[in-house]
């Protein structure tokens, strides 16, 4: 199929960006979106042009590297998947695609479609851990965990840190991302011990880095490729109130 791509090009964090138009012929419906960009880049390099920069690594929806805003949706129009899993079979011949980086103040653009998401690491550094030194762990089965809780903790823990929730939110809130970690640890006994310190530190860091507040529109949940539930945000709020 044939496609018209309107891609955001920006040389570096200081330059101003703009949309450039590219025409793609022979796009196979079996390609992934990133493979389509590979094909474009191959052409651009061979023609002596500047390839489009984008982050990617695992290409199977688990590392959280990729993340492109396509036609107004983070990771594209298909719910529940990452950009690397977005198959071109979801698009129609002749369509025009608008391709942009995440747009959020705490995620400045580095180049083209690559943004700086180190703010997410900073939030995790603030408190996203259980303080246990290597060698001091008790025997694994000595602390039983209710299966239902373990399963819910798992469902929260599968967040890949991609940042789509922030990109989807009109307030650039990181609540879904933070609530996923808080929930994982709040639901199991190992994590309860420093639950108060954790939630305070992570929320404080999130605010300090300029992420906005949650106004409950649910855009994050709708766009999250891992279907992290917004009910985690309610748990985050409960944990936060309990911590003071």
Partner 1 sequence: MTILNSKIPEGPLSEKWTRYKENVKLVSPANRKKLDIIVIGTGISGAAAASALGELGYNVKVFCYQDSPRRAHSVAAQGGINAAKNYKNDGDSVYRLFYDMIKGGDYRSREANVYRAAEVSNQVIDHFTALGVPFARDYGGTLDTRSFGGVQVSRTFYAKGQTGQQCLLGCYSSLNRQIKKGTVTMFPRREMLDLVVIEGRARGIITRNLITGEIERHSAHAVVLATGGYGTIYYLSTLAVNSNPSAAWKAYKRGALFANPSFIQIHPTCVPQLNDYQSKLTLMSESLRNDGRMWVPKTKGDTRNPNEIPEEERDYFLERRYPAYGNLVPRDVGSRAVKERCDAGYGVGKTGLAVYLDFRDAIKKQGKKAIEDKYGNLFELYKTITGKDPYEEPMMIYPAGHYTMGGLWVDYELMTTIPGLYAIGECNFSDHGANRLGASSLMQAAGDGYFILPNTISNYLADQIKTPRIPVNLPEFEESERSSIERLEKLLAVNGRETASSFHKRLGKIMWDYVGMVRNEEGLTKALSQIRELREEFWKNLKVPGSINGLNQELEKAGRVADFLELAELLVIDALNRKESCGAHFREEYQTPDGEPLRNDKEYAYVAAWEYTGHGNPPVLHKEELKFEVVEMKERSYK
Which positions lie near ligand FES, rule CB under 6 A?
56-59, 61-66, 82-84
In the bound state with ligand FES, the residue whose beta carbon lies nearer, of 65 and 232, is 65
C-beta neighbour count of 169 within 10 angstroms: 24
Contacts of 158 (CB under 8 A, 6+ apart): 226, 228
Site for ligand SF4 in 213-232 (CB under 6 A): 224-226, 228
> Which residue, 36 or 220, has its beta carbon nearer to ligand SF4?
220
Bridge partners of 109, per DSSP, are 115
Shortest spacing between CB 80 and ligand FES, in angstroms: 13
Q: Which of 68, 166, 178, 188 binds partner 1 (CB under 8 A)?
A: 188
Contacts of 8 (CB under 8 A, 6+ apart): 17, 18, 19, 99, 100, 101, 112, 113
Measure the CA–CA gap between 212 and 30, rounded to whole angstroms. Answer: 38
* 190 is an interface residue for partner 1 by CB under 8 A: yes
Subset of residues 165 to 184 that bind ligand SF4, contact rule: CB under 6 A: 165, 176-177, 180
225 and 162 Cβ atoms separated by less than 8 Å: yes
Write the burial class of residue 1 (CB in 10 Å: 0-12 exposed, 13-18 middle, 19+ buried): middle
Residue 66 binding target from partner 1, ligand SF4, ligand FES, none, CB below 5 to 8 Å by type:
ligand FES
The span from the CA of 91 to the CA of 224, in Å, is 20
Piece of 17-25, 97-105, 181-189, 206-214 that binds partner 1 (CB under 8 A): 181-189
- CA 89 from centroid of its chain's CA atoms: 23
Q: Kindly determine how many residues on this chain lie close enough to bind partner 1 according to the rule CB under 8 A.
A: 78
Choose the one of ligand FES, partner 1, ligand SF4, none that binds residue 228, judging by a C-beta under 5 to 8 angstroms depending on kind.
ligand SF4
Which of 99, 36, 104 lies closest to 68, judged by CA?
Answer: 99
Nearest approach, Cβ of residue 116 and partner 1 (Å): 8
CA distances from 167 to 102, 123, 231 (A): 5, 17, 19
Residue 89 CB, shortest distance to ligand SF4, in Å, is 23
Binding residue for ligand SF4, selected from 159, 169, 202, 219, defined by CB under 6 A? 159
Q: Measure the N-to-C terminal CA separation of the chain; round to a whole number of Å.
A: 58
| Residue 212 binding result from ligand FES, partner 1, ligand SF4, none, given CB thresholds of 5 to 8 Å by partner type | none
Comparison of 67 and 212: residue with beta carbon closer to ligand FES: 67
Residues that bind ligand SF4 (CB under 6 A): 159-165, 176-177, 180, 224-226, 228
């Amino acid at each position: 199929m044939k496609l018209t791509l309107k891609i955001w090009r920006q040389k570096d964090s200081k330059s101003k960006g703009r949309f450039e138009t590219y025409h793609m012929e022979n796009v196979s419906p079996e390609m992934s979106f990133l493979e389509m960009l590979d094909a474009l880049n191959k052409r651009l390099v061979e023609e002596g042009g500047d390839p489009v920069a984008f982050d990617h690594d695992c290409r199977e929806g688990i590392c959280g590297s990729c993340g492109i805003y396509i036609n107004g949706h983070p990771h594209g129009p298909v719910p529940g998947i990452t950009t690397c899993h977005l198959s071109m079979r979801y698009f129609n011949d002749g369509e025009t695609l608008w391709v942009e980086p995440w747009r959020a103040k705490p995620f400045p653009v580095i180049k083209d479609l690559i943004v700086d998401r180190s703010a997410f690491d900073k939030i995790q550094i603030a408190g996203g851990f259980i303080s246990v030194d290597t060698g001091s762990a008790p025997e694994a089965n000595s602390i039983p965990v209710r299966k239902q809780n373990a399963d819910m903790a798992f469902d929260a823990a599968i967040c890949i840190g991609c940042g789509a929730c922030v990109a989807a939110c009109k307030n650039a809130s990181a609540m879904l991302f933070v609530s996923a970690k808080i929930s994982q640890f709040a639901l199991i006994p190992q994590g309860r011990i420093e639950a108060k310190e954790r939630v305070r530190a992570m929320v404080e860091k999130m605010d300090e880095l300029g992420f906005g507040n949650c106004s409950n529109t649910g855009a994050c949940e709708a766009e999250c490729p891992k279907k992290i539930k917004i009910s985690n945000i309610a748990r985050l709020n409960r944990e936060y109130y309990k911590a003071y």
